[in-house]
Amino acid sequence: MGVPRPLRPLLLSHSDGGGGAGRAAHRLHRALRTGGIDSRMLVDFVDTDDPDVQRPQQVAVNLRRRLRIGADQIPAVFAGLPEPQGFSPGIASAVSARSVDAMGADIVNVHWTNFGFLSIADLGRIRTPMVWTLHDMWAFTGGRMYDEEGPQARWRRGYVEQAGSAAGQRWDVETWVQQRKRTHWTTPHMIVTPSRWLARLASQSALVHDWPVTVIPNALDTEVFAPRPGARQRLGLPEGRPIVMLALASDLADARKGTDLLLAAMSQLATERPDVELVVVGHAAPPPDWPTTIRTRWLGRIADDSLLADAYRAADVAVVPSRQDNLPQTGTEAAACGTPVVAFEIGGMPDIIEHERSGYLARPFDTTDLAHGIGWVLDEPDRAAALGRAARAHAERRWAQANVAAEYARLFASVKDAQPPL
């Protein structure tokens, strides 16, 4: 009897970096390989120099990519959706289901597929056993990556044709997207969500409520993101001044990310603690409307994880002021560095923060309570140190690469063994 070969998963993602979903997918890929799993990754945009990451080999690949991304945006613009950048109709594909199946993987782990990477139809045609890791709500909405959560939300009730809004057309693009999902996704697949919040929403949705769902958090290198002294000196930041950190790669005006709520809280805090400095990672300069009353330092985009970890270590508290979010890595990274996190009690934030034990969960979207939480961390150094130790312990327990890779490996093996061979 021969020695069984290692499991060979193929991770599919729009990119292996750039946005949060791509970074999370690549971190899982590296965690699997570190754990002895023969993981490969197929992406549209390559952001790393990882030799185990591939992208489709096509003639004029850059032109084709621009055409796909452009085509993916047309329906939302035509329908007159107010925020077309947060919508994907899933009509274009960089890869086909046939080419995915031909890669010889034991299991396909789908991650973020929008912007023309993998269409709704091709997702439904993949025959290799599949696990789908959700990084937002797109899988069960009518094309929105994030949507309202109330009891009347359309993704809960199912989509009924409504009037469109563009050029007098009676075309409801969201119902059209949902109908295509129902047509092509006839076989339930195992869903993984990084947070309990997203698992709950998926199980309450009209489209995938009967699909199996399990919660496995995003993997994090807790050796890189770890407490170390001397960060302020290395970054040239002042000693002895309270530092609040905001790390945000997306637009500062993105309402979902809640920068406006943080500014309101910081304005309140500044009246009591004028010495507090806000350090922003991900942007090099303030937008024109940034309030001058808030002492702010701009560190720009930090691509190197070791330097990014220093930014978290240099802060006394990290704030994630999102109105809606899954399991933002800005929160997990800060906690792993031993920096307490303050956020609103929404989405996946309770999976990151143990209230008043490792950080502070403010009432949504009470900026006075958010300011109170930031001040509560800053006011007592001994308490802040205890919060940081608890945050670090939680990170090691839940997000360490070896733990997450082992959870995924067990899940991959169970899903593979439950499927008949192709």
The tens digit of pLDDT for each residue in 20-63 reads: 999 999 999 999 999 999 999 999 989 999 999 998 865 456 66
Whether 407 and 342 share a structural domain: no
Rounded Cα distance, 68 and 117, in Å? 8
Burial class (CB in 10 A: 0-12, 13-18, 19+), 380: exposed
Whether 312 and 372 share a structural domain: yes
Whether 76 and 162 share a structural domain: yes
pLDDT (0 to 100) of residue 170: 52
- Name residue, tokens 């991959």: 412
What's the domain range around 308?
231-398
Whether 169 and 306 share a structural domain: no
Whether 197 and 244 share a structural domain: no
Asked if residue 224 is part of any domain, the answer here is no
Whether 244 and 186 share a structural domain: no
**Residue 68 confidence class, pLDDT cut points 50, 70, 90:** confident
SS (H, E, C) the chain: CCCCCCCCEEEEEEECCCCHHHHHHHHHHHHHHHCCCCCEEEEEECCCCCCCEECCCCCCHHHHHHHHHHHHHHHHHHHCCCCHHHECCCCCCCCCHHHHHCCCCCEEEECCCCCCCCCHHHHHHCCCCEEEECCCCHHHCCCECCCCCCCCCHHHHCCCCCCCCCCCCCCCHHHHHHHHHHHHCCCCCEEEECCHHHHHHHHCCCCCCCCCEEECCCCECCCCCCCCCCHHHHHCCCCCCCEEEEECCCCCCCHHHCHHHHHHHHHHHHHHCCCCEEEEECCCCCCCCCCCCCCEEEEECCCCHHHHHHHHHHCCEEEECCCCCCCCHHHHHHHHCCCCEEEECCCCHHHHCCECCCEEEECCCCHHHHHHHHHHHHHCHHHHHHHHHHHHHHHHHHCEHHHHHHHHHHHHHHHHHHCCCC
Asked if residue 313 is part of any domain, the answer here is yes
Whether 43 and 169 share a structural domain: yes
Whether 14 and 156 share a structural domain: yes
- pLDDT tens, residue by residue, 267-308: 999 999 999 999 999 999 999 999 999 999 999 999 899 999
Asked if residue 237 is part of any domain, the answer here is yes
Rounded Cα distance, 31 and 36, in Å? 9
Rounded Cα distance, 191 and 213, in Å? 5
Q: What is the domain-level CATH number for residue 259?
A: 3.40.50.2000
Whether 201 and 333 share a structural domain: no
Share of the chain above pLDDT 70, in %: 94
- pLDDT tens, residue by residue, 88-122: 999 989 899 999 999 999 999 999 999 899 999 99
pLDDT at 248 over 90: yes
Note the pTM of the prediction, 2 decimals. 0.94
pLDDT at 163 over 80: no
pLDDT (0 to 100) of residue 420: 63
Q: Stretch 410-420: mean pLDDT, rounded? A: 90
Asked if residue 3 is part of any domain, the answer here is no
pLDDT (0 to 100) of residue 321: 98
The structural domain count of the chain equals 2
Contact 103, 78 (CB under 8 A): no
Asked if residue 344 is part of any domain, the answer here is yes
